[in-house]
Structure 1
Amino acid sequence: MARTRNGAVSAAATIAAALLLAGCTATGTTDEALPWPEPTVPWTDEAKEPLASPLSLEALVAFSGVVALNAGSSCSGTLIDTGVPAGPGYVLTNGHCVGDVGRPPQQTTIDEDWFGTAEFLRAEGNLDGTFTAEVVELAYSTMRHTDTAIVRLDRTLGELQDLGLRAVPIAAAEPAKGSTAVNVGVPVQDIADPADIVLRRGECTLGAQHTLLESHWLWSGAWSNDCEGIQQGSSGSGVFAVDADGAPTEIVAMINTTSWGALAEEACELNGPCEVTADGVAMAPRTSYAQSVAGVGRCFDAVTGVFALGDACPLPVSDLTALAGGGAFRGGGLLDGFGRTPQAELVGARPGTVRTALVPLGDATACGDAATYAGADAQPLPGGEGVGWGEGLVVEPVLPETEGRYALCAVQGENYAGAATIVFTVDRTPPVWPAGATVERIDDVVVVQPFVRSPELANSRYTWGPLGEADCDDTASFEGFRIVPLMIEATDLPATYCLYQTDSAGNPTPVTRIDIPAL
């Protein structure tokens, strides 16, 4: 990822960092009184937001439509009041809660059979009185432009209401900046006792709306907020306007991410959302975000209550998907930290033609602008059901050497509303952390495991040999680390272990040398 540290880093600094591979950050060639290596991780974890207080039993009836959702991830959701009791029962949640993390970032899923459970009434003091409905369908799910899913349950809305569960309508219009609201969800992060995984209520003030970049995804209209206790499991939980008695009147937004717990070095990566402006991207520390849901209530037929896309429904639909593509590179034709070239594999919802253009990310709206594609040639685009990985059109953008974020825009025909945005990062800055590894004795074996923390320490290469004989200078002979740690027998000690690491883009650290004494 591109990082800002007292200004942009020049190409000369990158070359200098590469030359450092010829040197080592530790020395020592004899086994006389070698200390046991005790490397420490070079980062300090950020604090996670404290949990909000459990929802009281007195408030449970009012918020009885909030569910603990397990339909791909442990998340939260809210039973939607569609106004049609005879219609299906639907839950509003995030796309990343129902499998979209594993789908292409531009994909829209509609009317797909699904699985999982929605547990109602999971309040402290009521764990023996919960009710569980089955998830049977993804009526809609995407992480393109919005992190939103509509999940159909195995009961009608009326059947659920007859059980005393209170559905909540979705707001027709956006709330005002500075509005106060309430969040109720079921966070699960680092909670060891299942009895503590309960509905929790937090107070909120809404900030401004932003476009967010997190890993491969771009979301628009997300409300920054200070809702209490947002952690993993809070995703998909409603942000509610409430009446004078504290009961929910409508869902005004939906929690989908937070920068709490993210390091500065992880900005714009998974769980480190960045705010996108025309001037660049930046992570606001200790800030949560709630996806806009205004108008989504119009996606349900007024007579049948069935979810349906159409002119009145504001939810986006893609007709072009990048099965693979994007990521961090050094530009100038260099490979990333895993030996890959920059590319994207495009597939259409139907066969046709596609035009592409590489532009600075800017405010992330360029791909929907016809002017972006001026002069771009149309290419045949595979599409339709059955077109899968390895069968799409592979586009290989030529990334510049200037650090920054870039959008590979792709449009099928003239459907600019359905265009795809594939985000590439040009990063020529060496990792901020040195290479390192844990060294642990297990019986008569020493286990050496490199540190891993993407994107800064994403890949590792190493060599080892008898003490003082390992060639730490010949980095071309280093082998790649592949999950299984190095295990050194006692008979091969003392030894020298040499390691360098790269970030996701492929920028290297200097070599770290670790001398390991005899057992």
Structure 2
Amino acid sequence: MRTALAAGTAWLLATGLTAAGAAPAQAAPLQAAPAADAAPLLDAGSADGRRFRATGRLVGGGGTTCSATVVHAGGRPDPAAKALVLSNGHCADDTMGTNDVVTDKAAPEGWTFTPAFFHDNVAEQKTFTMERVLYATMKDIDVSLLRLNATYGDLAKLDVTPKTLADRRPAPGTALRAVHAPSDGIEDGRRHLRQSRCTATAAVPALHEHTWLWKDATRTDCLGISGGSSGGAVTTAGDTGRLVGMLNTIATPGYLGCGLGRPCEGSAEGLVVPKDDTAYVTPVDAVASCLTGSGFDLRRTGCRLDRGTQVTVTPDGRQTRSTTPDGPARWDVRITPGQGTRPTWVAVKSGPFGAVDCTRPEGYGTPRRLPAAGLEHTAVLPAQDNLHVLCVAGGPDATLQGAAWAASLAHPAYAYVRVDNTPPTVAPRIDAQHFGEGDDATYWVRPVYAPWELTGYQVKYGPRAGTDCADPAGYRPYLNIPASLKASQGPWTYCAIGSDNAGNTTAPAAFTVPSG
């Protein structure tokens, strides 16, 4: 599941990529197999099955599988019009960064959608190719709107009618129905539409995962969800005709802290780590504001989706301690004019993720001139542990007023840095495997990662009698190559110091090989 729930990108979690794209992990699996009773298979002929025939299997780039739903503004489309399909942004492109917005691009070859994707109607299922990516982003909202190479009339022949989108989000306590087609942890032949009956437990103003900053998610207790569930249709229990959201991401069991596969909620006090299996839903009311009877119009009056016409920010998205060998940690952000816009002035402000509102003019500094070559922002970062966001808006003058500035403030660009001065919460562990017999007996030893608390190691090893793990001499970075220790030369002492992505370290840990 990437952000969380797209199948086919599981290797990213299974290898435990760090923010810098390194450090494989031998850690927990992506997601345990969902309990069958948590999200039972939907029967095509059941009442709920008939209500959700518009939802099905989306196959995107590289064979990534997601869930998606046929949609229309009013539910009564022109039969000759090409059908629109709604899913998550990462289902269209899971490499999108913090500020990326994709508009009106040809869909890559091989993208398909199969509606009414039930386990008991396989013979009648029909798969359609995808024609265009009308919209996709991971900025503020994880959403994509795709156009099929098929009409609403073609789908009507399969008894597939589009869903409409609600213009408001579910309030906490609202009973929900989530229909999705999970793949990870599901045996072949059973990777079809399932239904989770659950509840909206909280409105979440700010949600962070990997390089993405999202707004206005809904926290739920939906279960039975795994890779492939991304984009799954979410409705209220009493109104299954309209979507109130899409399944987006979950807190993957076995992962710690905040990172890919482990979203965290923003607050003024720091990132809030959710409990295992907490599922989040992406709202769809902003998408609804851009749909018309004839399709999708990003320039429609009242459309609240980001058009992608903002200054370009090149952030590092790094994790750091507040004090570095070079002094206090600083922002390291480059701001340049973006494509399709020519702002000559730029204003910035910063604050804790979940507390700072980048859309409000209050708190922005005096606009500065933005040369074509760009400018650097290198102010000192706050010392407090938190995810700190830099809001960047561009405009035509130094006033921070008027229509152009208002449009920029509605969708500013972001940079972020996580300040983390807290040592890892778990101690190092090792994996020692025995191979061979007699004189050939060998132990292969490696430290075990625990994303996202232990993502790097310094190690050393030697004969037990002469190796002191408390002595800093001799440690070297672990490069993911197990140590090969001859059993006949043992017992050995293997020393490990774990670290997180900010460089905080554990106390040295000593292990005897063989143990006992």
Identical pairs, percent: 27
Q: Distance in 1 between matches of 2:220 and 2:490?
A: 55
Check whether the contact 2:69–2:115 (CA below 8 A) recurs between aligned residues.
Answer: no
Select which of 352, 359, 362 maps to 1:371.
362
> Offset at 1:421?
2.5
Q: Distance in 2 between matches of 1:87 and 1:108?
A: 25
2:65 equivalent to 1:65 = no
The equivalent of 2:305 in structure 1 is 315
Query: Per the alignment, in what secondary structure is the counterpart of residue 118 of structure 1?
Result: strand
Q: Distance in 2 between matches of 1:466 and 1:332?
A: 37
Q: Distance in 1 between matches of 2:30 and 2:288?
A: 40
The equivalent of 2:394 in structure 1 is 412
- The code of the aligned residue for 2:484 comes to M
Query: Per the alignment, in what secondary structure is the counterpart of residue 190 of structure 1?
Result: coil
Select which of 351, 375, 383 maps to 1:360.
351
The equivalent of 2:95 in structure 1 is 102
Select which of 499, 504, 507 maps to 2:501.
504
Query: Per the alignment, in what secondary structure is the counterpart of residue 159 of structure 1?
Result: helix
The equivalent of 2:198 in structure 1 is 204
Residues 362 and 118 from structure 1, CA distance in 2 versus in 1: closer, same or farther, beyond 3 angstroms? closer
Q: Distance in 2 between matches of 1:114 and 1:395?
A: 37
Instruction: Answer with 365-374 or 392-401: which moved more.
Output: 392-401
The equivalent of 1:184 in structure 2 is 179
Q: Distance in 2 between matches of 1:448 and 1:195?
A: 39
The equivalent of 2:385 in structure 1 is 403
The equivalent of 1:79 in structure 2 is 70
2:162 equivalent to 1:171 = no
Query: What do residues 353-373 of structure 1 show as CA deviations (whole Å, max 9, x unaligned)?
Result: 564646331534432233332
Higher RCO (CA 8 Å, separation ≥ 6 residues): 1
Select which of 140, 151, 154 maps to 1:156.
151
Check whether the contact 1:447–1:487 (CA below 8 A) recurs between aligned residues.
Answer: yes
2:464 equivalent to 1:472 = no
Check whether the contact 2:51–2:240 (CA below 8 A) recurs between aligned residues.
Answer: yes
- The code of the aligned residue for 2:59 comes to N
The equivalent of 1:10 in structure 2 is none
The equivalent of 2:17 in structure 1 is none
Residues 112 and 262 from structure 1, CA distance in 2 versus in 1: closer, same or farther, beyond 3 angstroms? farther
Check whether the contact 2:31–2:185 (CA below 8 A) recurs between aligned residues.
Answer: no
Residues 496 and 208 from structure 1, CA distance in 2 versus in 1: closer, same or farther, beyond 3 angstroms? closer
Check whether the contact 2:343–2:394 (CA below 8 A) recurs between aligned residues.
Answer: yes
Residues 515 and 376 from structure 1, CA distance in 2 versus in 1: closer, same or farther, beyond 3 angstroms? farther
Query: What do residues 55-101 of structure 1 show as CA deviations (whole Å, max 9, x unaligned)?
Result: 023133332111111214321110113423322222111112222x3
- The code of the aligned residue for 1:406 comes to H
Q: Distance in 2 between matches of 1:142 and 1:185?
A: 21
Check whether the contact 1:352–1:380 (CA below 8 A) recurs between aligned residues.
Answer: no
- The code of the aligned residue for 1:472 comes to C
> Offset at 1:306?
4.6
Select which of 315, 318, 341 maps to 1:327.
318
> Offset at 1:236?
0.6
Residues 341 and 490 from structure 1, CA distance in 2 versus in 1: closer, same or farther, beyond 3 angstroms? farther
Query: What do residues 452-489 of structure 1 show as CA deviations (whole Å, max 9, x unaligned)?
Result: 12221011111223443345344364221223333335
The equivalent of 2:452 in structure 1 is 455
Q: Distance in 1 between matches of 2:358 and 2:287?
A: 24
Query: Per the alignment, in what secondary structure is the counterpart of residue 360 of structure 1?
Result: strand
Query: What do residues 16-63 of structure 1 show as CA deviations (whole Å, max 9, x unaligned)?
Result: xxxxxxxxxxxxxxxxxxxxxxxxx99999977634111023133332
Check whether the contact 2:265–2:354 (CA below 8 A) recurs between aligned residues.
Answer: no
Check whether the contact 1:295–1:314 (CA below 8 A) recurs between aligned residues.
Answer: yes
Check whether the contact 1:49–1:260 (CA below 8 A) recurs between aligned residues.
Answer: no
Check whether the contact 2:33–2:184 (CA below 8 A) recurs between aligned residues.
Answer: no
Query: What do residues 111-132 of structure 1 show as CA deviations (whole Å, max 9, x unaligned)?
Result: 1222322122321223343221
Residues 321 and 129 from structure 1, CA distance in 2 versus in 1: closer, same or farther, beyond 3 angstroms? farther
Unaligned runs of 5+ in 1: 1-40, 383-391
Residues 86 and 177 from structure 1, CA distance in 2 versus in 1: closer, same or farther, beyond 3 angstroms? farther
- The code of the aligned residue for 2:415 comes to I
Residues 517 and 365 from structure 1, CA distance in 2 versus in 1: closer, same or farther, beyond 3 angstroms? closer
> Offset at 1:381?
5.5
Query: Per the alignment, in what secondary structure is the counterpart of residue 296 of structure 1?
Result: helix
Q: Distance in 2 between matches of 1:85 and 1:241?
A: 27
Instruction: Answer with 453-462 or 341-350: which moved more.
Output: 341-350
Unaligned runs of 5+ in 2: 1-25, 396-404
Residues 284 and 450 from structure 1, CA distance in 2 versus in 1: closer, same or farther, beyond 3 angstroms? closer
Query: Per the alignment, in what secondary structure is the counterpart of residue 109 of structure 1?
Result: strand
2:432 equivalent to 1:430 = no
Alignment of 1:103-122 (within 5 A): 103-115=96-108, 116-122=111-117
The equivalent of 2:279 in structure 1 is 288
Q: Distance in 2 between matches of 1:381 and 1:333?
A: 32
Residues 407 and 381 from structure 1, CA distance in 2 versus in 1: closer, same or farther, beyond 3 angstroms? farther
Alignment of 1:216-235 (within 5 A): 216-235=211-230
> Offset at 1:201?
1.3
Select which of 443, 447, 450 maps to 1:446.
443
Check whether the contact 2:198–2:223 (CA below 8 A) recurs between aligned residues.
Answer: yes
Residues 181 and 159 from structure 1, CA distance in 2 versus in 1: closer, same or farther, beyond 3 angstroms? same
Query: Per the alignment, in what secondary structure is the counterpart of residue 110 of structure 1?
Result: strand
> Offset at 1:146?
0.8
Instruction: Answer with 85-94 or 399-408: which moved more.
Output: 399-408
Q: Distance in 2 between matches of 1:46 and 1:148?
A: 23
Q: Distance in 1 between matches of 2:469 and 2:175?
A: 59
> Offset at 1:500?
0.7
The equivalent of 1:258 in structure 2 is 250
Check whether the contact 2:497–2:505 (CA below 8 A) recurs between aligned residues.
Answer: yes
> Offset at 1:323?
4.3
- The code of the aligned residue for 1:149 comes to S
TM-score, normalised via structure 2 length: 0.79
2:264 equivalent to 1:274 = yes
> Offset at 1:200?
0.4
RMSD over aligned CA atoms reads: 3.2
Query: What do residues 408-433 of structure 1 show as CA deviations (whole Å, max 9, x unaligned)?
Result: 22222342223122232222111111
> Offset at 1:154?
1.6
Query: Per the alignment, in what secondary structure is the counterpart of residue 370 of structure 1?
Result: coil
Query: Per the alignment, in what secondary structure is the counterpart of residue 244 of structure 2?
Result: strand
The equivalent of 2:478 in structure 1 is 481
Q: Distance in 2 between matches of 1:212 and 1:271?
A: 16
Give the count of matched residue pairs: 458
